Homo-oligomer: A and B are copies of this chain.
Amino acid sequence: MSQWEEPAPNELSISNLTCTREDRVLFTQLEYTCCAGAVLQVLGFNGAGKTTLLHTLAGLMPPASGVIRWRGESIAGNRSYTRSLFYLGHQAPVKPALTVAENIQWLARLRGQSPSAEELCSALEQVDLEAYQNTSCGHLSAGQKRRVALAQLYLSAAPLWILDEPFTAIDKEGVGRLQQLLATHASHGGISVLTSHQPLRLENLHTLDLAAFQPDEACAYV
């Protein structure tokens, strides 16, 4: 939680960003600034480049051009940025041979945390998996597997969350709870960037439609 008390305000700003895949420009001249407390839903048709954008924001991929800044500093090669980031992709990093509790633990340890037994229990409760604590994840249903990954959110102290389709395979009640979590995160000054094709019901929800940043015909290829 220490990062949250830091004086520098959480702010993610994207300036003049262009992303390409194999020479094809997906979107260009993207400008956006997320301030503390924002939840940003990235919209776009299938193949618009949402996942690519999130990968770029997470620093996993260099952008074709443009700069992304976190708290005013460029994120390229910025290790402190990596530490203030929580990323969850399409795939849930969940090992079928490990139990639910073990999976949650190693993911947390990897991010330098060591959750206590209570923290673990409460996270499990939040995602409705108390009963499965010692079940190996290979024996879970699709939605339950996603929930194991989502449990990280309840443990994470990172101010910036980047979530790629977090609602996939989650049931209605789970979606509601997750939205509540996002609202809490925002109220603490955290920022969430997520993609979803479902409409969200959140107060300070911002949306960013990638369709608005399509390149013109002339410069569709670099």
Residues of A within 8 A of B (CB): 21-22, 44-47, 49-51, 90, 128, 139-144, 147, 165, 168-175, 197-198
Partner of A140, one of B47, B168, B173, B174: B47
Chain B residues with CB under 8 Å of A143's CB are: 46-47
- Give Cα A44–Cα B143 distance, bound, in whole angstroms: 11
Chain B residues with CB under 8 Å of A198's CB are: 198
B197 close to A169 (CB less than 8 A): yes
B168 close to A45 (CB less than 8 A): no
B147 close to A46 (CB less than 8 A): yes
A171 close to B46 (CB less than 8 A): yes
A52 closest partner in B (C-beta): B141
5 smallest CB-CB distances across A and B, nearest first, come from: A46-B143, A47-B141, A45-B171, A46-B171, A47-B144
Partner of A197, one of B21, B50, B128, B172: B172
